[in-house]
Amino acid sequence: MIRVLSLLVLILSFVRAVPAESREVKKKPASRAIPTNYFVKKEEKNFSLLMEARRFGRGEVIFLRLTPKDKKWINESYKVSWLGKDVILTKKEKSMIAFLPVSPDTPAGAMTLEIVSKIFFVKRGQKQYQIILEPTKFQVIKKNQQIKVDEKFVTKELPKETLDFIQECKTAKEAAFAKQSQLQFINNFKNPLDKIFITSKFYVRRDYNNKQGRPHGGVDFRGKTGTPIFAIQDGIVVLARKTYYEGNFTIVDHGNKIFSFYMHQDEIKVKVGDVVKQGQEIGTVGSTGMSTGPHLHLGAKVNDTLVDPLSLIALQSISESH
């Protein structure tokens, strides 16, 4: 069944948004209706364009596929920019794919996708498309529901040794997220735990010990200490160590500046440089670092932008061939 997505406007063209089954993580498995993703499909003279997203909103990731009408054009030079920033294109079979992040802090209005190609656009050499950002309201935890943590995580009055360790951790994390590699995967993302129950959503704003905290940079999953944690996608481990705030912390590089990260683990079961496969156990649920109880904090970054990891897990078109 096809429905028109009124929030999407493509310049100089008509586009349909087609819902499809999504693997969006829910608090309870599946007796409920399966949610739908949105698809933007466009047939140009020289290529077809597909865009898929759980929704076109803040904090989401949009999957892009460009397919030339002529097979030999796959080896031509193309440039794609998203919100004014170049994105990494990867050839996959007869198409080129990319992942477009939307920052949770993106202001309301039109988001611009630009494709530059002398083959696709013979006269002008480029074309722009606009997508209207869907309104997104992130949850705000009321003051009477504030979280109590160890005071050492919210005070600025810390020993020099501790401050030096915090800086060391920050430097290590920045170095890990600066890694660049080719795309490591060909399949859709999967859940990090066998049983899924979400206890805190992405970008929730909350207070800690009567002090305002930063928005929640990931999604929290309930789990008992020792519960296996699985890699949500193929990749290379670029960080696996104890850190001050995140506790036992692992970052996996999936290529093309796409990273997933796993916080508060009881045990880390990989080391830097390990090549991991989707579904491989990389650690166990714990309560290390700035944590109030056993859980997994799962986060994701795409092209240096913090995004909701569930928006990656929801994508269905990555595995599909043209």
Catalytic amino acids?
Answer: 295
Q: Are 61 and 315 in contact (CB under 8 A)?
A: yes
Helices (H), 14-108: none
Q: Are 284 and 225 in contact (CB under 8 A)?
A: yes
HSE (side-chain half, CA atoms, 13 Å) at 80: 18
What are the DSSP calls for 165-232, one per residue? HHHHHHHHHHHHHT--------S----SSSS--EEE-TT-B-EETTEEPPPP-SEEEE--TT-EEE-S
∠ CA(205), CA(211), CA(216), 5° rounding?
A: 25
> Tokens 């759980």 belong to which residue?
54
Q: Give Cα separations from 142 to 146, 209, 256 (angstroms).
A: 7, 13, 38
Query: 50 in helix, strand or coil?
Result: strand
Reading the block at residue 106, the tokens are: 């993106």
**Strand 207-208 with 61-68, pairing:** unpaired
Q: How many CB atoms lie under 10 A from the CB of residue 99?
A: 23
**Rounded distance between C-alpha atoms, residue 36 and residue 21, angstroms:** 5
**Rounded distance between C-alpha atoms, residue 124 and residue 127, angstroms:** 8
What is the amino acid identity at position 288? T
DSSP-derived secondary structure letter, 13: S
Reading the block at residue 28, the tokens are: 């309870």
Reading the block at residue 122, the tokens are: 């013979």
